[in-house]
C-alpha cells in the first residue's frame, strides 16, 4: 500500500489478505493525507485479522500508538514484522514493543528508538527470529541497553541475524554485558547465528560462540574471524554444525577451512573465502563430512591468508 486509499476501501474485509506493506506514496502526498492514512489503519487492521506479515518501509508519517495497539490486539499469532527506517515515534514505543510480542520473526532495520528501553516484563517468548541492522548513526538511538533488554526477553530465540557497522567500541561494550547470566540464558537455544559488518572483531565473535551451545548454522560476513573465534567454533560446535559460511573475513586461513572439512561430521554446506584447489585435491587428512551437499568459494577478506 503506497499512500492512502479512497475511504471506502478501509471498511472492507479482505478474507485472503495475509501481507500488508506500507510505503510512502510514489508521488508526494500532503502531510494531512499521510496522517489520515494512519488514523484509518487501526480499524482496517482489526477488520482484517488474518494478516501474517506486516512491513513498514520508510514512511514519512510515523505510525501512531493506536495503530500499534491494533496490531498488538489483532496480530497475536503472526509471522513477520519488518520496520525499516526512522519510523517510530517516542509516544508509540510501548505499544510497538507490545505489538512485537505477537510475531515469530521481527526485522528492525535502521530504526529510531529514541534510546527508550523495552518495558519490564515484556514477554517476547514467541519470537524465534530476529534480524537487526544498525550503523554508527543508528546506535546513537538504539543503545546497548536496548539490545540487552531485547535479548533478555527473547527466551525462545532460535535465529539471530545481526548487521553492525563502524561501531567497535559499542559492540565491545555489549559483549561485556552479554556475559550476564540473563543474556547468556537467552542465547542457549540459538541454532542459527548470522553476523555481518566490520564492527564484529575476533574476540566479540568468540564471546557469542561461547554462549550458543546449540548452534548448527553459522554465517560470518565481512568481519574479523581469527584464531580466537575459530577456537570457540571448533571447541563447542564442530560436532553438530551443518552450515558454515565465512566470506570476506579478515583472519580466515586455508588451514581453518581444512579443519572444518575434516572435523564436522554433520556438515552439509560450506561457503568460504579461502578455499584452494590444491587443498581440495590433496587434503592433509580425510574429510569426514559425508553429508556435504554444497562447497562454494566465496569472496576473500583483506588479510585472510595471513592473520
Question: Check: CATH 3.80.10 for 115-307?
Answer: yes
For 162-177, the pLDDT digits (tens) are: 887 766 555 665 665 5
Average pLDDT of span 173-197 = 73
* CA separation for the pair 155, 185 (Å, rounded): 7
User: What pLDDT is recorded for position 299?
Assistant: 73
Within 77-213, residue ranges assigned H as helices are 93-100, 136-139, 144-153, 168-177, 181-186, 202-210
Evaluate whether 133 touches 108 at the Cβ level (below 8 Å).
yes
**What's the pTM?**
0.83
Q: Are 218 and 241 in contact (CB under 8 A)?
A: yes
Alpha-carbon distances of 39 from 7, 62, 68, 70, 278, rounded to whole Å: 11, 11, 11, 11, 64
Instruction: Find the DSSP H helices in the chain.
Output: 31-47, 65-74, 93-100, 136-139, 144-153, 168-177, 181-186, 202-210, 227-237, 254-263, 277-281
Question: What whole-number distance in Å separates Cα of residue 210 and Cα of residue 116?
Answer: 29
Burial of 222 (0-12, 13-18, 19+ CB in 10 A): buried
Helix (H, G, I), strand (E, B) or coil at 58: coil
Helices 65-74 + 93-100 axis angle, to 10: 20
Q: What φ, ψ does residue 72 adopt, rounded to 5°? A: -65, -35
**What CA–CA distance (Å, rounded) separates 155 from 130?**
12
Q: How far apart are the first and last CA of the chain?
A: 49
In the numeric block, which cell numbers belong to residue 205? 565473535
Cα dihedral 196, 259, 230, 212 sign: positive
Best-predicted range by mean pLDDT (4-13, 16-25, 83-92, 205-214)? 205-214
> What digits encode the pLDDT tens for the residues 65-121?
999 999 998 888 899 999 987 778 888 888 999 999 999 999 988 776 654 567 778
Q: Which three cell numbers stand for residue 281?
A: 585435491
Amino acid at each position: 500500500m503506497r499512500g492512502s486509499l479512497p475511504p471506502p476501501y478501509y471498511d472492507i474485509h479482505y478474507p485472503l489478505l495475509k501481507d500488508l506493506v506500507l510505503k510512502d506514496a510514489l508521488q508526494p502526498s500532503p502531510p494531512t493525507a499521510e496522517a489520515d492514512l494512519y488514523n484509518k489503519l487501526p480499524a482496517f487492521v482489526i477488520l482484517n485479522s488474518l494478516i501474517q506479515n506486516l512491513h513498514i518501509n520508510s514512511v514519512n508519517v510515523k505510525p501512531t500508538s493506536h495503530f500499534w495497539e491494533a496490531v498488538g490486539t489483532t496480530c497475536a499469532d503472526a509471522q513477520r514484522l519488518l520496520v525499516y527506517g526512522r519510523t517510530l515515534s517516542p509516544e508509540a514505543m510501548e505499544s510497538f514493543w507490545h505489538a512485537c510480542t505477537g510475531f515469530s520473526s521481527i526485522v528492525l532495520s535502521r530504526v529510531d528508538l529514541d534510546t527508550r528501553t523495552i518495558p519490564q516484563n515484556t514477554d517476547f517468548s514467541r519470537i524465534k527470529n530476529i534480524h537487526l541492522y544498525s550503523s554508527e548513526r543508528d546506535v546513537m538511538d538504539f543503545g546497548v541497553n536496548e539490545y540487552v533488554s531485547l535479548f533478555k526477553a527473547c527466551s525462545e530465540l532460535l535465529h539471530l541475524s545481526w548487521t553492525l557497522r563502524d561501531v567497535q567500541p559499542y559492540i565491545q561494550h555489549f559483549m561485556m554485558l552479554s556475559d550476564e547470566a540473563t543474556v547468556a540464558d537467552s542465547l542457549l537455544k540459538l541454532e542459527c547465528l548470522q553476523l555481518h559488518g566490520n564492527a564484529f572483531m575476533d574476540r566479540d565473535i568468540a564471546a557469542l560462540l561461547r554462549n550458543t551451545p546449540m548452534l548448527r548454522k553459522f554465517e560470518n560476513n565481512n568481519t574479523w574471524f581469527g584464531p580466537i573465534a575459530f577456537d570457540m567454533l571448533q571447541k563447542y560446535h564442530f560436532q553438530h554444525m551443518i552450515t558454515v559460511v565465512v566470506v570476506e573475513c579478515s583472519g580466515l586461513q586455508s588451514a581453518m577451512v581444512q579443519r572444518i572439512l575434516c572435523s564436522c561430521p554433520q556438515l552439509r554446506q560450506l561457503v568460504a573465502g579461502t578455499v584452494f584447489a590444491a587443498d581440495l585435491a590433496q587434503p592433509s587428512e580425510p574429510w569426514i563430512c559425508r553429508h556435504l551437499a554444497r562447497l562454494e568459494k566465496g569472496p576473500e577478506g583483506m588479510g585472510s591468508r595471513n592473520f
